[in-house]
Structure 1
Amino acid sequence: MLTGQFQNIKIAGLSVAVPTEKVPVDSYAPIFGTENIEKFKEMTGVQSVSRAKPNQTASDLGYEAAVDVFEKSDVAKKDVGFLIFVSQKPDYRMPSTAFVLHKRLGLPENCLCFDLNLACSGFIFGLQTILSLLDNSDSTAALLITGDTSVKTLSPHDRTMVMLFGDSGSATLLKKADDCSPIRLGFRTDGNRFKSIITPAGAYRNRNQPHDRVAWSDGILRSDYDTHMKGMDVFGFSITDVPQLMKDFMSWRETTADDYDYFVLHQANNYILKQLSRKLKIPTEKIPVSLDRFGNNSSNSIPLVLSDHFGDKNQGQLHIFICGFGAGLSFACGDLSIETDVINPLLETDSFYLDSY
């Protein structure tokens, strides 16, 4: 396990934006059949998903979250020395979407910007990266934006995925401070299973694949431009490798489930959350759930849970355990303390950037 520890940096603000449209899982009954819908809801716990408008990108949602977090925090844009955008749905192949966000937000020239191509582990991988940069610079603040509009690369015929994934964006401000607890993170990667969650075409390998959707071995119509997930491989990874990482991290930290107020976990599906609860002896009331109303939100799962459950509460400081896992395969966890008054309520938006190419 690779570990990272950071002193004297805290989360100074966190906002999450979701589209206004919520698509009920039941609305897919005419396509997939009522029996399949009921089985899906029982297994995943998802009742509806958030769905971006056709012209709305991941960066649009991240931008709205960033505007909100600046309005509600004491961090000035001129002090932001780093901007990282975490997504697998960028605006363009070139340049990095971070530069588009830099322009839209009016951040200073003395600001290092780039994208990270990550999904469900992306928030924690992004934290490690931006904390490392901030810790080793003369900047006093940094902005981490995550965003995904997963539906844009899903086959509408794929009953395993199209009802599962929701769209959203988040913005997290980090600030140097003397009065804060350490942030500790742990990571693992298994590139041997990179094909377990993959969109085979659409970049610079497999460039000439046909766009027509045909029946794959599981009978579902897809093209190579649609994201495909090997369900059993990912399921095995989620209930074996991920809890082992969590155990190893708590062993390193010399903590138990009793030491944390909440476990804010990637919202993969309800069954996986129950398995993690059982294997690590975590009381279910310590695992807040948002996937029932928003679905699996990829890199935004952890911020979305925080905003959904604590954005309108004043509970003081929370000591939380975080964990994200998915495409790569990549998995990460950590613990940190956060004041609930810097967590903002969820905002809804259909806005998108008009100044496109």
Structure 2
Amino acid sequence: MVTFVTRGPALRGIVTAMPQRQDANRDLATLFGEEAVDKIIRATGIETRPVSDGLLISDMAVAAAENLMEGLGWTSDSIDLLVVVTQTPDYPLPATSYVVHGRLGLPMTTATLDLRLGCSGFVYGLSVISSMMAAGGLKRALLIGGDVINTMIAEDDRALRLLFGDAVAATALEASDDDHQIGFDLGADGSGVPHLISETGGVAKSGNPQLYMDGARVLSFSLRQVAPSVARALAVTGQTASDMDHVILHQANAMMIQSLAKKIGLRDDQVVEAVRDYGNTGPASIPLAMCDLFRGRASQYPVNLLLSGFGVGWSWASAVWRTSLPTYCEIIRLPHKDQV
């Protein structure tokens, strides 16, 4: 594990873009059976999910980032760093961040990179940006993350079809004069590779990407690694779970969030849950949950946030972050690509 503290950036805004198309899980009863669907909905808490319907990561990323920059009054030439986190890139190459960079009209001075990560990706991306801001004097950054994971799921896959939503979140981060810290714990266990994987779609094995997940092993891994990771992130910042105002865990499903909250020792009022209308949106799930939480709220006082993402790899990443509330948060819905 890698555990460290650095100066924390300020969270200025979040915009999440998702398709207008919303698939209701109950509508799948005709395919999978009413009893089976009801059981999955009760266990996961997921009722509807956005489905990409032809939209690419770059389509949603550009829409979210443009809305975010306009809402904050940020110009393209003020962005020092762009990080895109996705497992479903537009192309094998170039990296999707360069597609987004070009479509946003960002200057040549904007450093740009992809992180090929899943549900831990938002916190990993936050660690990269925080470290580069602290070390390199960068002022403004965009952290964009999300997947169109339904493109990797077969229509008759009962185990996965009701779980995942397609969305992309753009988060605006800015260097701050406030002496706020952010602490991270990052870890990996490559023995998890076979249990959450698309074997096809790469150089090793051609074909269309097809997601496979061993749900029991994912749950076991999460219950084993997340609470210790959270404890290390809290310890390195000298805080406890009770000091946290809001705890945003990766929004895999309601059962997992509640099980982890109990294992970490959280109060109900601390835990943020936003899976009902969105499902598991991968790298977008943590910022989407924050966006859902902070929309319409304003405060001059900073808050203590505990974030933890975990999943494919196995990988996990936790952060303890003191920051001001964002001044701009929106969730936007995009029509089918042919209608854009």
Q: TM-score range by the shorter chain?
A: over 0.9
Label 1:347 to 1:186 Cα distance change in 2 as closer, same or farther (>3 A). Answer: same
Q: Which residue of the partner structure matches residue 111 of structure 2?
A: 112
Cα displacement (A) at 1:138 = 4.4
CA distance in 1 between partners of 2:323 and 2:23 (Å): 32
The C-alpha deviation readout for 1:83-129, integer Å capped at 9, x for no partner, is 11100011111111111111111101112212111110010111111
Q: How does 1:1-357 map to 2 (within 5 A)?
A: 1-7=1-7, 9-54=9-54, 56-207=55-206, 225-316=209-300, 317-350=302-335, 352=337
Contact 1:50 1:166 in 2 (8 A): yes
Label 1:26 to 1:60 Cα distance change in 2 as closer, same or farther (>3 A). Answer: same
- The residue matched to 2:101 in structure 1 has which SS? helix
Cα displacement (A) at 1:315 = 4.2
Cα displacement (A) at 1:262 = 0.8
Label 1:195 to 1:342 Cα distance change in 2 as closer, same or farther (>3 A). Answer: farther
Cα displacement (A) at 1:290 = 0.9
Cα displacement (A) at 1:349 = 1.5
- The residue matched to 1:127 in structure 2 has which SS? helix
Cα displacement (A) at 1:341 = 4.0
Contact 1:4 1:128 in 2 (8 A): no
CA distance in 1 between partners of 2:337 and 2:138 (Å): 30
Cα displacement (A) at 1:4 = 3.2
Q: AA paired with 1:256?
A: T
* Gap runs ≥5 in structure 1: 212-224
Cα displacement (A) at 1:354 = 10
CA distance in 2 between partners of 1:351 and 1:64 (Å): 13
The C-alpha deviation readout for 1:168-194, integer Å capped at 9, x for no partner, is 111112222212511221111001211
TM-score normalized with structure 1 length: 0.90
Contact 2:237 2:320 in 1 (8 A): no
Label 1:71 to 1:125 Cα distance change in 2 as closer, same or farther (>3 A). Answer: same
CA distance in 1 between partners of 2:238 and 2:8 (Å): 21
Q: AA paired with 1:288?
A: V
Cα displacement (A) at 1:18 = 1.7
Q: AA paired with 1:37?
A: V
* Gap runs ≥5 in structure 2: none
Contact 2:25 2:48 in 1 (8 A): yes
Cα displacement (A) at 1:150 = 0.7
Q: AA paired with 1:328?
A: G
Q: AA paired with 1:67?
A: E
TM-score normalized with structure 2 length: 0.94
- The residue matched to 1:346 in structure 2 has which SS? strand
Contact 2:57 2:148 in 1 (8 A): yes
- The residue matched to 2:162 in structure 1 has which SS? coil
Q: AA paired with 1:42?
A: R
Cα displacement (A) at 1:72 = 1.6
Q: Which residue of the partner structure matches residue 220 of structure 1?
A: none
